[in-house]
Amino acid sequence: MQAMNFLIGFIGVMLSISAVLGILFYILNAISYYTISKNRGYDKPWLAWIPVASDYLKGAVADDINRRKGKASNFRTWLLVLSIVTSFSGVIVIVLGIVFGLGTAFSSGFDQLPNFFQHRGFYRSFSASGPSGLFMTLSPLFSLLLNAVAIGFSVVMYIVLYKTFEDYTPQNAVMFLLLSIFISVTYPFLLLSIRNKPAVSIYGSSNAAPNWNWAPPQQPYGTTPPPYYGQGNAVPPVQQENVQQSSVPFTNDNDEPKQQ
């Protein structure tokens, strides 16, 4: 009895910790995408706080990145549809689990149930064939569909995530993506670290030299420099005068220079 109580308490503590971490990660994720979408000029950044709609916003950010690079994509629609299907599938799994549990209880003690339940054809069918029959028949097919949807959702989400990392920290995009895949708890913190960085698709490459839009220096004589500015063997006028004077011979220090 004590062992069972300890196990129940341990499971309760673990579920509580998981719930707290899940809420924390969701808040960090929402803050990151709220800031990113707001900085990109998106008019509905508050979608980052709404389940399912936040996935649409993530796809919209990736679509905006591609649009600014001259590419067309529709990640927002794919993520929205897959997120809805995934959420709906989760609800179905919960409902089927409840039905399976109730069906097992009804079939094992059907004769002990009140008459109200005994006249329900649905549960009589369970009692005749056993609840596990229908559940186990549908379970493999439904599980296969769920896995396919989950894989598709993950693939699209990781593509969107890579697009975001590439636009805000191109030198770390691959490393951040691998960390998000294999150490998923780092994903919200990585997004939080880049939320205020300048986007390459908007401001240009972070590794490029600053562009201050300065006009190039103008030559004092227009676009075409005079011939004595480094062209051929010509000499500027002042230097020509000095050369000409230095070429005049002097007979002595007291004599005037004689022109040749």
Place of tokens 């549809």: 81
- What pLDDT digit, counting tens, does each position of 186-232 carry? 999 999 999 999 999 999 874 433 443 444 555 555 555 555 545 55
Is residue 208 included in any domain, yes or no?
Answer: no
Is residue 247 included in any domain, yes or no?
Answer: no
Is residue 243 included in any domain, yes or no?
Answer: no
Structure confidence at residue 126 as a pLDDT band (50, 70, 90): very low
- What pLDDT digit, counting tens, does each position of 55-112 carry? 999 999 999 999 999 999 999 999 999 999 988 887 777 777 777 666 665 555 545 4
For residue 119, how far is the Cα from the chain centroid? 54
Domain that holds residue 138: 2-198
Domain count, the chain: 1
- What pLDDT digit, counting tens, does each position of 14-28 carry? 989 999 999 999 999
Is residue 227 included in any domain, yes or no?
Answer: no
Is residue 147 included in any domain, yes or no?
Answer: yes
Q: What is the average pLDDT across 114-140? A: 52
Enter the pTM of the model: 0.65
CA distance 28 to 26: 6
Residues 6+ apart with CB under 8 A from 197: 168, 169, 206
Q: What is the pLDDT of residue 137?
A: 61
Residue 146 has pLDDT above 80, yes or no: yes
Structure confidence at residue 161 as a pLDDT band (50, 70, 90): very high
CA distance 140 to 75: 30
Is residue 209 included in any domain, yes or no?
Answer: no
Cα radius of gyration rounded to whole Å, the chain: 38
